[in-house]
Amino acid sequence: MLKFEDLEEKPISTQKIFDGNILHVAVDTVSLPNGNESTREYVTHLGAVGIVPVTDEGEMIIEHQFRYPLHRVITEIPAGKLDSASEEPLAAAKRELLEETGIVADEWIDLGEYHPAAAYCSEKLTLYLAKGLHMGDQKLDTDEFLNIEKVPMADVIEDVLSGKITDGKTVCAVLRAAVQLGYLVKK
Amino acid sequence: MLKFEDLEEKPISTQKIFDGNILHVAVDTVSLPNGNESTREYVTHLGAVGIVPVTDEGEMIIEHQFRYPLHRVITEIPAGKLDSASEEPLAAAKRELLEETGIVADEWIDLGEYHPAAAYCSEKLTLYLAKGLHMGDQKLDTDEFLNIEKVPMADVIEDVLSGKITDGKTVCAVLRAAVQLGYLVKK
């Protein structure tokens, strides 16, 4: 069995392919553990945050958003990109929750990190549970259109487990929050 | 509140940016719900499968793999891309499990779908729980290097919940499997 240090792929050269507003694409030539050369196509991304906002009554704020790559509306937790590589994830989470839903939360619980597609994308999301919710002012980005709904947390968990909700950050964050809040109990 | 049909973004034109082995990148000009124009940068991807293989003794087969975009080894479930757009996900899952781990499974349970990054990638993974495991022949792809380990399922669940395991498909699949197998129980 290979040791961890024997799995490493070392960069030889980088070819920049695309420098967009959101996506940055490159192809690197790399040296493999067996000494062969190969290429790695990958996307670099600033990083993002996702939030599970739950009311004192056990209701969750979810969003329905049109996702262009899938050509349909899907159900998601509030989420958004970091403004810059140096923005603190918690600050970004507070900003995004307020912008998208108009909600301010008194209590923030870290639900850990999530790598959506480590094989080809550097993006890391930091996930949070937000409690003690009250209303501020919703301030959607230009070009952002959302349908926001308040749903019993137990129903969202059911939809995540049944596969009705498929959005990755939503599945991860909701199930970690479900254990945190006692909706799912370890046997 | 906007209705679902009022959230749709309609394509106006497509600019192909990159046509790689794994990633295909495009930027579309789209018409927004308010009639404005904007651009959408996105990756198209054939789709993939991920498998939670669990032994009769409650042990799970996991992989440690170097992921170039993160520049480190992370822990994942066995997974792989579809060979073509028409490949059946279950056939791909059987093929990938055998190729990567040398394991054949008698029982396959559908754990639903997972969209890793719907904001900018079309990729869909179909997730499976595999039981009744026995050994076949491991046949790694050229340029694929893995470290495979058998770990108590309860420990993997703990690492997924604590955020030690961050790989998206792994978090989703392991938690859905944990409920399926009774490691996590709904209250």
Question: What distance in Å separates the CA atoms of residue B107 and residue B23, rounded to the nearest whole number?
Answer: 32
- Count other Cβ atoms within 10 Å, centred on residue B53: 24
Given the DSSP bridges, would you call strands B125-135 and B48-53 parallel, antiparallel or unpaired? parallel
pLDDT band at A137 (very low <50, low <70, confident <90, very high): confident
pLDDT higher than 90, residue A147: no
Strands B59-67 and B147-152 turn out to be antiparallel
Per cent of chain A over pLDDT 70 is 98
Mind telling me how many Å the CA of B132 is from chain A's nearest CA? 22
Are B76 and B170 spatial neighbours (Cβ–Cβ below 8 Å)? Answer: yes
pTM equals 0.94
Residue A78 Cα, gap to closest chain B Cα (Å): 12
Q: Can you give the length of chain A in residues?
A: 187
B90 φ, ψ (degrees, to nearest 5): -65, -40
- A158-185 tens-digit pLDDT: 999 999 999 999 999 999 999 999 999 9
pLDDT for position A184: 98
What domains appear along chain B, each with residue ranges and CATH number? 4-44 (no CATH), 48-180 (3.90.79.10)
Local confidence band at A140 (pLDDT 50, 70, 90 cut-offs)? confident
Helix, coil or strand: residue B116: coil
Q: What is the rounded average pLDDT of the residues A71-87? A: 95
Task: Tell me the C-alpha to C-alpha distance, in Å, between residue A170 and each of A62, B17, B28, B150, B172.
Answer: 9, 29, 26, 28, 9
Looking at residue A163, what is its pLDDT?
96
Q: What percent of chain A has pLDDT over 90?
A: 88
Q: Count chain A–chain B contacts defined by CB atoms under 8 A.
A: 233
Q: From the list A76, A123, A145, which residue is nearest B33 (CB)?
A: A145
Please give, rounded to a whole number of angstroms, the shortest distance from the CA of A35 to a CA of chain B: 10
Question: Annotated catalytic sites of A, by residue?
Answer: 144
* Interchain pair A38, B143: CB under 8 A: yes
pLDDT category of residue A1 using cuts at 50, 70 and 90: low
Asked whether the beta carbons of residue B18 and residue A21 sit closer than 8 angstroms, the reply is no
pLDDT tens, position by position, B53-107: 999 999 999 999 999 999 999 999 999 999 999 999 999 999 999 999 999 999 9
Of B9, B34, B179, the CB nearest to A66: B9
* pLDDT of the residue at A136: 77
pLDDT for residue B4? 80
Interface test with A, best of B115, B126, B128 (most A CBs within 10 A): B115
On chain A, the residues whose CB falls within 8 A of the CB of B179 are: 161, 184
For A2-37, the pLDDT digits (tens) are: 788 889 999 999 999 999 998 999 999 999 998 999
Per-residue pLDDT of chain B (187 residues; tens, 9 = 90+): 678 888 999 999 999 999 999 899 999 999 999 899 999 999 999 999 999 999 999 999 999 999 999 999 999 999 999 999 999 999 999 999 999 999 999 999 999 999 999 999 999 999 999 999 998 777 777 677 778 999 999 999 999 999 999 999 999 999 999 999 999 999 9
How many of the other CB atoms lie within 10 Å of CB of A102? 16
Q: What sign has the CA pseudo-torsion B117, B119, B120, B125?
A: positive
- Note whether A23 contacts B23, CB cutoff 8 Å: no
